[in-house]
Amino acid sequence: MGFLSEIVAATRARVRSPAYLAGLSPTPPPRRASLREAVRRDAPRGALLVEYKRVSPGQPDPRLPARSVEDFVRATAPAPVTGYSCLATGPRFDGAPRDVADLARATAVPVLFKDFVVEPVQLDAAARAGASAVLLIARLETEGHLTVPLEALAAGAQTRGLEVLLEFHRRSELSVADRVPADMYGVNVRDLDSLALDRSAAEGTLGAAREAGLVPLLGLSGVEDSRTAGRFWSAGADGLLVGTAVARSPDPVGFLRSLTREPAPGGEGPA
């Protein structure tokens, strides 16, 4: 069994537990700022989604430096942060919807609820946690992991006041974009079955998504330094999601500032 099948089965079992929504507000808080509009606003200098997580399973040493949500926001907020992403996945990631709620309370910028969404109750969790948007993964449908159609999950998210970030890895997954209502799109460098990085496949997918008019468009995962960020900018990304590298950086603000686009000749540098 590959990683994706394993994590989907474990996630489905967890979210069906009565304890899954424990610690969340019984009703959604007031609607937050739009992540889509924040990405569009910051696209000229390169939008940055900064991810809070405790574990990165694709790494040789998956456990990341321990840091509370509040400390993480304090350490990164002076950087040009467009929005935050937060892992809500319990199995293998040690995340929870409560982490998303803590992050939403700690910052005024938009927050993405990031999980392997397979059940509508996860949409309830995202809304009650105060997220602006939720991640949906095209591959979960194209490989038959879903019992609820991806289109229905996307519509359910938007009914709950959540924007949808639709993730692809392979070009073939772009076929779902015509029928799944989404507000933003992203291409994951990491193959979720093997956890290997496949930059060439992802860059091809990103280029095809751009040609298809799927915008705003984000590069997801695999951002290690300014060089790897530059590959996303060259491929046409409007923004990046960065997690593991910023968690390990001794200078998170300097690291994040180094990822923005190079200023145009005669123009101004990043804010």
Average pLDDT over every residue of 144-164: 97
Residue 270 has pLDDT above 80, yes or no: no
Burial of 69 (0-12, 13-18, 19+ CB in 10 A): buried
The answer to whether residues 240 and 222 touch, using CB atoms and an 8 Å cutoff, is no
Instruction: Please name the amino acid found at residue 41.
Output: R
Closest CA to 162 of 123, 199, 122: 123
SS3 state at 165: strand
For the chain, how are helix, strand and coil distributed in percent, rounded to 5?
Answer: 40, 15, 45
Residue 129 has pLDDT above 60, yes or no: yes
pLDDT at 262: 67
- What sign results for the dihedral spanned by CA atoms 68, 251, 188, 63? negative
The answer to whether residues 167 and 135 touch, using CB atoms and an 8 Å cutoff, is yes
Q: Domains in the chain, please, with CATH?
A: 3-20+35-257 (3.20.20.70)
On average, the pLDDT of the chain sits at: 92
Of residues 221 and 139, which shows the higher confidence score?
Answer: 139
Main-chain phi, psi angles of 224, to 5 degrees: -105, -25
Percent over 70 (pLDDT), the chain: 96
pLDDT at 249: 94
In this predicted model, what pLDDT tens digit does every residue of 7-40 receive, in sequence order? Answer: 999 999 999 998 999 989 999 998 889 999 999 9
pLDDT at 1: 66
- What sign results for the dihedral spanned by CA atoms 103, 104, 109, 113? positive
Of residues 268 and 237, which shows the higher confidence score?
Answer: 237
Average pLDDT over every residue of 105-133: 97
pLDDT at 222: 87
